[in-house]
Amino acid sequence: MHTGDDLTGVSWCLDGRDELIPDSFCDYRYLEQAFEHDPAFFLKTLGGQNAAEMHDKLIENPRRMRTDSEYFKLANETCRRWFQAELSEISQERKERLVQYLYRTAHTTVPQLARVIGLSRDRISQAIGKKKR
C-alpha cells in the first residue's frame, strides 16, 4: 500500500506474513451486520461478481491505452450513466467532473482527454490537478 499519509498512529496490525489483520483495520461488526450476519449472503454477493470482468476493470483497464473512438465510447457511456445525457449535452463543470474520473480510472493523456471531451488542454490539466510545464 502506498500513501503519503502518516500512518504511525493507526491501530493496524500485521500477521507473521506481513499481511494486515482484518480485525485491526476494519469494523467487522458493522460489516457482518451489513450482510445480516449471514456468511452465505456475503459469499453469494461476492460470488455474483464475474471474476474476469473485475480483473479487466481493476487490473487491465487502468493500464491499457485506447484509441480516441474507444475512449469516446467509454466517456459517453459513463456520461449517460452519471448524467443521463450525451457527452455533447452536458455543461463544462460536469465535463470536468467526468475528466477527473476518467483520468483516474482509464489510462489516457491530457491531449486525448481534450480531443474526446471537447475541452482545452489547459482546462483538462486544471481539472486533473496537473501543473503546466
Q: What is the 3-state secondary structure (H, E, C) of 12-64?
A: CCECCCCCECHHHHCCHHHHHHHCCCCHHHHHHHHHCCCHHHHHHHHHHCCCC
Inside any domain, residue 55:
no
Inside any domain, residue 90:
yes
Amino acid code (one letter) for 25: F
pLDDT at position 113 over 90: yes
Domain housing 122: 65-128
Name the least confident of 63-72, 73-82, 108-117.
Answer: 63-72
Verify that 41 and 79 share a domain, yes or no. Answer: no
Angle at 131 between CA 87 and CA 81, to 5 degrees: 20
Place 2 in a pLDDT band, splitting at 50, 70 and 90: low
CB-neighbour burial class of residue 79 (10 A; exposed 0-12, middle 13-18, buried 19+): buried
Verify that 115 and 74 share a domain, yes or no. Answer: yes
More confident residue, 129 or 29: 129
Number of domains in the chain: 2
pLDDT of residue 97: 92
pLDDT of residue 131: 64
